[in-house]
Structure 1
Amino acid sequence: MTLLISSVFPVVVIMIYLYYRDKYEKEPIRVLIRAFFGGVLAVFTTLIIVWPLHFFEDSFSGSISSALFQSFFMAAIPEELSKFIFLYWFIWKDKNFNENFDGIIYAVFVSMGFACVENILYVFEGGLEVATARAITAVPAHAIFGIIMGYYFAHAKFQPNRKHKNLFKGVFLAIMGHGFYNFPLNYYSEIIDKHPEAAVLAVFLFTLFLVFLYIVGFRKIRKHSESSVFKG
């Protein structure tokens, strides 16, 4: 029970935080729940996409190429594409999607559905230490990827003449953020035994990029919140 609570807790905290940051017109709980379960379903879509890619893992023998393959093709690309599919499918035509901030909150709830399942799997395998580490790294990172995607998802909705450009931009930047978040970690696991000094650099770069993601996320939340059409 402790592991389950520790897995779900950071997800719930982030969703509550975003819900209360939506200051001017809160989204219906039923639509937020739908978005969350869209993220849960995205896990299964990701598994389907990733399964054939496992056959290519041995083709990348170098530390950098292997880390890039794992970071982007085995994680960032299938995961963010899967989240986007359900975000668009479940939310795009919903009448409650009626202002910029909604794009962020719905995208984050989709991301949190995905992160919840992923976190449960990792924490039940790795224990409380993994739960603590992921509570301040992987789970917030998924939220930030959702913020980035949702930011441009909203622009696509409310700037129809630039719909496809903004949809692409949101997915592309979420993939880039996710991939470059994962890369130092995967590179670290590839080189820790042979090149411990380079592994230290990988940890430093990971920390630096995580801080950068936090800054980007909070800025985009503030920008869309301040531009709300329901602001008095």
Structure 2
Amino acid sequence: MGFTAMLIAAVLPAIILLIYIYNKDKVQPEPTKWLVKGFLFGVISAFASTLISSPLGWLGFYTTGEAATFREAVSVAFFGAAIPEEAAKLLMLWLLLRKNPYFDEKIDGVVYAACVGMGFAAIENVMYLSTYYSTWVTVGLTRALISVPGHFMFAIAMGYYYSLGYWGG
């Protein structure tokens, strides 16, 4: 199987989940242009997260080498991945919605956050599958079942609470 099949496998899980969440916004569906913009902001957030995680590593918040202990593994998971990734996605969500005229109902925060999260997940998948090209089918299947749905659920929670904060309880 070739590089094109790998790219499709990397992006398809994110697209499937985007279609699912898009179909939940039945009253005033968001314009495609803004959904694509949200997805692209998610792609950008993957690169922006390294601007957050790298300094945290340099400052000693986590070990930059192989994690030898449970404490090191936890510190890498939080300071090297979770916190920088979610902070970058939140920043991109805020940039996307601050002047978006179509952000006009509570469900919109969830839809746009899902777009950002799936853009992040898609490019992260491309990077992982490219890195592990010899085993991309196994890595792709594992990430499609665990990582992409994880990013999706985190995005839903982020969008829900973003909307709650913006529109009130």
Question: Fold-level match, TM-score > 0.5?
Answer: yes
Which one has the bigger helix percentage?
1
Higher relative CO (Cα under 8 Å, sequence separation at least 6) belongs to 2
Normalised to the residue count of structure 2, the TM-score between the two structures is 0.88
- Segments of 5+ residues of structure 1 without an aligned counterpart are 163-232
Normalised to the residue count of structure 1, the TM-score between the two structures is 0.65
Give the length in aligned residue pairs.
160
Counterpart contact for 1:35–1:110, Cα < 8 Å:
yes
What's 1:10 paired with?
13
Give runs of aligned pairs for residues 194-209 of structure 1, distance below 5 A. Answer: none
Cα deviation for residue 95 of structure 1 reads 1.6
Residues 143 and 59 (structure 1), Cα distance of their counterparts in 2 relative to 1, 3 Å cut: closer
Counterpart amino acid of residue 134 in structure 1: R
Residue deviations 1:41-86 (CA, integer Å, cap 9, x gap)? 1112111112223333169976221111111000010000000111
Counterpart contact for 1:60–1:69, Cα < 8 Å:
no
What's 1:52 paired with?
55
Instruction: Give the stretch that moved more between structures: 59-68 or 16-25.
Output: 59-68
Q: Percent identity?
A: 36
For the pair shown, the structure with the greater C-alpha radius of gyration is 1
Cα deviation for residue 154 of structure 1 reads 0.6
Cα deviation for residue 125 of structure 1 reads 2.4
Q: Give SS of 1:23's match.
A: coil
1:78 and 2:84 aligned = yes
Residue deviations 1:101-153 (CA, integer Å, cap 9, x gap)? 11101001001111111000111223110111111110011011000000011
The list of structure 1 runs, each at least 4 consecutive aligned residues, that deviate by more than 3 angstroms after superposition, is 58-62
What's 1:212 paired with?
none
Counterpart pick for 1:131 among 126, 136, 140: 140
Residue deviations 1:175-199 (CA, integer Å, cap 9, x gap)? xxxxxxxxxxxxxxxxxxxxxxxxx
What's 2:102 paired with?
96
- Segments of 5+ residues of structure 2 without an aligned counterpart are none
What's 2:45 paired with?
42
Q: How many angstroms apart in 2 are the aligned matches of 1:92 and 1:16?
A: 24
What's 2:33 paired with?
30
Residues 7 and 128 (structure 1), Cα distance of their counterparts in 2 relative to 1, 3 Å cut: same
Q: How many angstroms apart in 1 are the aligned matches of 2:143 and 2:82?
A: 17
